[in-house]
Amino acid sequence: MQERSTRPHSLKDTVTHYCPGCGHGIAHRLLAESIDELGIAERTIGIAPVGCAVWAYYYLDFDMVEVAHGRAPAVATGLKRARPDTVVFSYQGDGDLASIGTAEIIHAANRGERITVIFVNNGVYGMTSGQMAPTTLVGQKTSTTPLGRDPQVAGYPMHVCELLSQLRGCVYAARAALSSPANIRTAKKYILRALGTQLDELGFSIVELLSPCPTYWRMEPAQAMEHINEHVVAEFPLGEIKTPDSGEAEGIGAGAGAEATLCVRS
């Protein structure tokens, strides 16, 4: 196993452009470490859409494809079907996945596509001035909700993992936070399990990462981490929401998936 004090082989030696305290850098390292440890870098393809997530190809040293806003699951589906020997993941933010790409993510999960989704939830549109996203907390102030999100006007925060976990094609769904060393270690464990689900050809997998956006939360980086632990986790509980069961797999479209079990969060 690679020493954790060294840079992962799949992480490029480049200077970050992300805002101070942004969680994307942590997420990139966890992905790179996981892919290195599984020994799959040479057959991994990442999908980067529009938003802060688009810059993933500046940092991850394996094949990457940039796609239109929200369309990452559709492109990932095409790549995985055309090259079933590859390991395909999409790396998406909350605006991209849960707003523009709602149809794509739901139908990819429902079909049980053998892809893995890394879903970075920071509660705002980080690249385009901090507008409200589907995951914005009730009462949270953004550039489009200056008085705070009002559920009577804008609805409630969308719980993507819980939503997708109801679909038979989704066999693994988990949520972690990038807000403490312990939570970050758990996040890596979930990423490894999600990629393992794909390697075992069980079906669709997703890992949601609660990530700080100090710039558009108008907070210092340390304060943003505390905000996740004190407020964001209260809305989005951590844990494995659905895991593959040991039962016999059943066909679900092009991505044959195993029956899965809803889990009690830890």
- DSSP category for residue 18: S
- DSSP category for residue 137: P
* pLDDT tens, N- to C-terminus, the chain (266 residues): 454 568 999 999 999 999 999 999 999 999 999 999 999 999 999 999 888 878 888 899 999 999 998 999 999 999 999 999 999 999 999 989 999 999 999 999 999 999 999 999 999 987 777 789 999 999 999 988 999 999 999 999 999 999 999 999 999 999 999 999 999 999 999 999 999 999 999 999 999 999 999 999 999 999 999 999 999 999 999 999 999 973 333 333 333 334 455 554 44
Q: Which CATH number fits domain 24-262: 3.40.50.720, 1.10.1040.10, 3.40.50.970, 3.90.1300.10?
A: 3.40.50.970
**Cα distances (Å, whole numbers) of residue 74 to 154, 162, 166, 173, 176:** 27, 21, 20, 19, 25
The full set of domain ranges for the chain reads 24-262
pTM of the model: 0.90
The residue among 78, 152, 68, 167 whose CA lies nearest residue 115 is 78
